[in-house]
Structures are given as C-alpha cells and as structure tokens.
Amino acid sequence: MRAAVLTPDQRAARAAFYERIGTHHMTPLWEVLGALVPPQPRSPLQAAIWRYSELREQVMEAGRLISAEEAERRVLILENPALPGNSSITQSLYAGLQLILPGEVAPAHRHTQSALRLVLDGEGAYTAVDGERTTMRRGDFIITPAWTFHDHGNQGRDPVVWLDGLDIPIVRFLDAGFAEKGDELSQALKRPEGDALARYGANMLPVDYHARPADPTRVFVYPFERTREALVAVAQGAPDPHLGHKLRYVNPATGASPMPTIGAFSQWLPAGFETRPYRSTDGTVYVCLEGRGEARVGERSFPLQENDIVVVPSWHELQFRADRDTLLFSFSDRPVQQALGLWREQRN
Ligand code: 1HN
C-alpha cells in the first residue's frame, strides 16, 4: 500500500468499513499485502543450538520418569524458540531426541507423517520398518516412509538416543494426518536384516522393480560407515567454497530424495576450512556427527561439538568454520520446495 496522508474523517470511515466487512468475514488486502508477499523470506523463526552435552542428562531423566511403552515414543521435542508450543523446529519440520533403554520396546504403529532417524548415542537398539529390522549404529540415517509400520527395541546394555525428524508441520498444514496402532507390540518380521540394502542399495535393483517418481526409497538404512567412506574419498578433491564436500542422500532407484517431503545431506569440512556465506530457502537442521567448529547464522554464532544440533531458518546467512575435520548431517524440506519450483539459494 502506498503511504497516504489521511484526514481523521477518512481514517474513521475506513476503520468503520473494516469493522463492517469484518462481520462478513472479510478484510482489506491493502492493509496486509506487504506482509503476505514480502520481497524476500522473512522467517519468524530463530536460529538456535541444542548442545548434546547439556541435554543428555535431561533425556536420561525422561527415562526415569516414563517407560517407552507408556509414552509410545519417549521423545523430547526440540522446539524452535520463536514457536514455543508448536512442536516444530522449522515451519515445515519437527525434530526430537528419542531415548530407548535396554529391554524396552516402542510399539508398532504407522502414520502418514514421514520420519527419519539419525543415531547419536549408544548401541544395541534396532528399528523395524515394514517387517525388516536394522541394528542402529551411531551416524546411521534411517527412514520410515509415510504409512509404513515401525517399532523400535533395545536389546543391548546402553541407553540409545537418536534424533527424529518428521514432516509433521507439513502434514498438519495439509490436514492429511492418519495414524493407527499395529496389532502386536513388535511387528512380525518378513525379511532378514540387510535384505532391503542388498536388493535396493548395492547399485542394483530387483529385475522387475520399477519405482514411480514420488516413491520413497526401499533402502531404509544408510549405514554411517558407507556415508563416511564416501565423504572421506570425495574430500581428496577440492572443497566447494560454500559447502565443503557435500552429498545428498537419494533413493537409488530414482535419484530423488529418500522421501518426498524431507531431503537429507551429509558434508565434510576439512580441518581449518571456513565456508563462504550461503543462504537457501529451506530452513535446515544440522547435526555435528564428528569434529568441532563454529556455525555462524546471521548475527549469531554457535560453537559446535559432537551431537550438537543447530537449526538455520530459511534465508538466514550461514557460515561454518571447522577446527577439526568435521562431518555434518542435515535435513530440510528442500524436495518439497523443488517440486513446487520455490527453492532458491544464494552464494556470496
Ligand atoms: C513417531 O512415530 C516416532 O516412530 C518418533 O519413533 C517421533 C513424533 C510424532 C509422531 C510420531 C517414532 C514421533 C512419531
């Protein structure tokens, strides 16, 4: 709206009009146009860090207060400080820290929300997705596509903690959420461990398998060992000035993201490397899996250590500095934005 000088009478006439049309559930566009269509994203979200060394004890305390079975999922949600009570870390994504203690199970269920796990701490847990179990090891990236039954258990001696990432705010926005419980606590196994990775994740596919473009990958675990090995090999070459050595996880049958709503990435920043200022429209959650350094987001700066989680809102300028060789996992809604023709990045 162009600024105009109004007389008190004109002002009063407009206010009365706005009130009158309000009773018809109408409101004038010209009062809100600038906010509705900003020249560039002005995310209301805040950059923030969750330091694992400070949070681990809180997660363990949850383990003394409630069982995994009673909770269904014993998770402490990571809420963006600008949106308390909203169960979201960005506008489109949810994140939480999940704990499962030795001997516990988290019962089978399914929902239309898609989920990822990034294993952070402890070993001996498994997750089962659509009738196949995978042992969870630190750094493993595991997915639970929409409407697949999944349950977790811990048959080891350590508490096991992982980061959950879900598209809950997207499904909420679309009012498209369904969920149901499984018939049994732990779903019956249909295939031996490693079956999906062998069939779909060994640079081959079952001879009669044809994925449709939006199908999630049948590879539901991306073992950290393989990811790390790839990054170390790639890091023999020259780093990208803005990204270091960055790879994206894919559905090997299509080249698309593992799930349609969440993209995931892994990057290696050599010791001493500093990335050039970068921003993109996909608000992103980063996890420091190895190394240490610093993340600068706009005016703010966060020291990074292993298992620390940082959220970078849309279009906020980001720079990393690696004090040691550093491996970062990240996830965002990039595939959604790309499918809609919305995704942009800027390299300075
Ligand atoms: C869920 O199913 C899991 O399966 C974790 O581990 C977190 C948050 C909201 C809704 C469903 C899981 C979840 C969730």
| Phi and psi at residue 200, to the nearest 5° | -115, -10
**Ligand 1 centroid from CA 83, angstroms:** 20
Domains of the chain in start order, with CATH, are 48-347 (2.60.120.10)
> Ligand 1 pocket test: which of 59, 73, 114 has the largest number of ligand atoms within 8 Å of its C-beta?
73
For the chain, which ranges sit under pLDDT 70?
Answer: 1
pLDDT at 240: 98
- State how far the Cα of 225 lies from the Cα of 303, in Å rounded to an integer: 26
Q: How far is the CA of 73 from the centre of ligand 1 (A)?
A: 6
**Cα–Cα distance, 301 to 282 (Å, whole number):** 20
CB 48 within 8 A of CB 80: yes
The tens digit of pLDDT for each residue in 219-243 reads 999 999 999 999 999 999 999 999 9
Residue 116 Cβ < 6 Å to ligand 1 = no
pLDDT, tens digit, for every residue of 171-180? Answer: 999 999 999 9
Terminal-residue alpha carbon distance, the chain: 32
Residue 64: in which H helix or E strand, if any?
helix 52-65
Is the C-beta atom of 115 inside 6 A of ligand 1?
yes
State pTM to two decimals.
0.97
Burial classification of residue 202, based on how many CB atoms lie within 10 Å of its CB (0-12 exposed, 13-18 middle, 19 or more buried): exposed
